[in-house]
Structure 1
Amino acid sequence: MRKASKFIYYFLKIITFNQITKYWAKKYNKVNTTFITSDKIPFSLEDLINLLGKDNVANINNTLSRVQITLNNSKNLDLNKIKELNGISGVVLSQNTLNLIVGNNASTIALQLKEKVLNNG
């Protein structure tokens, strides 16, 4: 087989079986699997604790972007003032559970709230 024939053979093989795009897709489309969290809290935790009531908090949990606060009593809660805090993008109240949508610093906020409220710190 001559060089020109070999070239045409491999060229057509690459185009026909779409091997070059498979190679490029594998090389350049790497999936980013890291999650970035932030340690900065854009509002004062003391303001949030005062709005919730220190004795009113029963439990604090978090997900990647939410802080879930279980309250003893949600009757006297002022949701508008909580929504006005800088850094809280959403507030959801269902029965005695308050969900604060805070973004990628939810774990930091939950940890510091637990230290200050539940551990009497």
Structure 2
Amino acid sequence: MASVAARRVLRDRVRANRAASAERRAAAHAARRVRTGARSLTTHVIATGADSATVKGVVEALRTAAKNAGVKGRRARIRRSFDGARNVVKTVYRYTRAQVAQIAAQYKPRKAEYKGVRAALIAA
């Protein structure tokens, strides 16, 4: 019979593997979606394989860079729930790969992780 400590180690390893697998699946799914058409900036950044904390920081910076570069994505309207209110209509913007590359060219990150994401967005 395994000890409590050994079971805890196995449980933590299983959780870590499950989380890593979920991130890989999300990146692969996002990459497939980006290839087919215009998507949100978040989807483009997730497709580079960045972790969730990096995604949030890069996306906010890319939105600012898009505004400064004058790049406007295709407008779309979605329904989602916000703060308990269901079916709220929200306007979002979708960007093609070329538009994201143009935005990323304007974006000048300082952190090393962000620079890697920028390079991946320009190369795509």
Answer yes or no: same fold by TM over 0.5: no
Kindly indicate which of the two structures has a greater share of residues assigned to helix: 2
Larger radius of gyration: 1
